[in-house]
Amino acid sequence: MRFVSAEQVARRAGVSRSAVSRTFTPGASVSPATREKVLKAAEELGYHVNDLARGVLNNQSRLVGIVATKPEVGFRAHLTAALTKALIRRGSVPVLINTGQTEEEMLAAQKMLIGHRAEATIILSGSPPESFLDLARRNGQPVVLIGRCEPEADHVRAGNSEASIEAARLLLAAGRRKLAFAGSHSATPSILERQIAFVAEVEHHGFSVQIAHGEDSNYDCGVAAARALLAEGDRPDAIFCANDLIAFGVMDVLRREGGLSIPQDVAVIGFDDVPEAAWLNYGLTTFRQDPLIMAQRAVDLLERRIANPEADQGHDRVVPELVVRQTFVPANVTEV
């Protein structure tokens, strides 16, 4: 593979190699006539500046790593898309690394990014080990976390507790008394926070919560959780689901296998507001995490850290808003 070189542009334009370099260096001194000849030659040849080489010379690049596990699934897919767009607007080059959550896998991803002199790393999955943060600090690489809290790193989190408490209060105010929570065994810190806050609020009002888990935080997990709740005999009249994918599985089992009506027999509330939540087959009432807002907040923290490496850790919290559809309509609230 042979890319067009700056030397070829210089020969076509009839100028020196350094003139080509100055033309494509912001703020460098070059005459208007020379600039015009260089740009014309570059256009004819299809030349583009070698940003990778510049990054090596400057010991940094415009690369920003996005480290995620299963970035194609659920809300994370939309957050990943929003992050790439926000980084491109900033002038960065996003690099997605699909990895696992073990310390070895996380460190392998980080070493790859540091080896390519990535400017920063944004983590969407798993809590990074201390060795990850230590290596980033020693290399001066900013790390931003989304969806989890680490005292040694900048992070953006959803208001999981606030939304879960609101879900409990709204269901109880609607007269629902047999409440359940559908979660997963492989829960992220965010999902665990939702479960803890929901259960605590319901118990605070003197009621108990049935808890059912599937393996992973996806549709199959919702199917397993719903079947477990139906098997207990004393079925719930309301289920708060850790995310929308779980809610979809719960709803399909309640209707197809339980013969139940939603929300007449069982109210269902989700979390995330992925696009499928508005599909006619679901019409899911849920708490909306806006991926565009979450992504921009993460980029803002990144820019803050780059501008001031010694600043205190930035902690941002975005409280989700309830989107009311057909699966549960609180009193005095209009569904969308």
Q: What is the pLDDT of residues 17-32, one digit of tens each?
A: 888 888 888 778 889 8
In terms of DSSP bridges, do strands 120-123 and 209-214 run parallel, antiparallel, or are they unpaired?
unpaired
| CATH superfamily of domain region 6-49 | lambda repressor-like DNA-binding domains (1.10.260.40)
pLDDT band at 52 (very low <50, low <70, confident <90, very high): low
CA distance 141 to 115: 12
What residue segments make up the domains of the chain, in order of their start? 6-49, 63-158+291-319, 160-289
pLDDT value at position 50?
A: 65
Least confident of 115-119, 269-273, 282-286, 326-330: 115-119
CA distance 253 to 271: 18
Q: Which among 217, 223, 230, 220 is positioned nearest to 190, based on CA atoms?
A: 217
Give pLDDT tens digits for 294-315.
999 999 999 999 888 888 888 8
Q: What is the percentage of the chain residues whose pLDDT exceeds 90?
A: 50
pLDDT at 55 over 70: no
Dig out the tokens for 6 from the structure. 């700056």
pLDDT at 234 over 90: no
CA distance 104 to 220: 28
CA distance 148 to 162: 15
State the residue for tokens 């070189």. 5
Look up residue 151 and give its amino acid: P
pLDDT value at position 42?
A: 87
pLDDT value at position 19?
A: 87
Q: Could you tell me which CATH number the domain at 63-158+291-319 has?
A: 3.40.50.2300
For range 46-60, the mean pLDDT: 64
- What is the number of other CB atoms lying within 10 angstroms of the CB of residue 148? 19
Q: Would the CATH topology of 63-158+291-319 be identical to that of 160-289? A: yes
Q: Which among 56, 47, 54, 57 is positioned nearest to 20, based on CA atoms?
A: 47
Q: Which has more confidence, 66 or 51?
A: 66
Q: Could you tell me which CATH number the domain at 160-289 has?
A: 3.40.50.2300
Least confident of 55-59, 127-131, 148-152: 55-59
Question: What contacts 229, CB < 8 A, 6 or more positions away?
Answer: 180, 182, 210, 212, 235, 236, 239
For range 52-74, the mean pLDDT: 74
Q: What is the DSSP string of 20-42?
A: HHHHTSTT----HHHHHHHHHHH
The mean pLDDT of the chain is: 88
pLDDT at 288 over 70: yes
pLDDT value at position 58?
A: 55
Give pLDDT tens digits for 98-120.
877 777 887 787 788 777 788 88
Residue 268 φ then ψ, to 5°: -130, 130
For range 61-66, the mean pLDDT: 84
CA distance 129 to 310: 21
pLDDT at 1 over 90: no
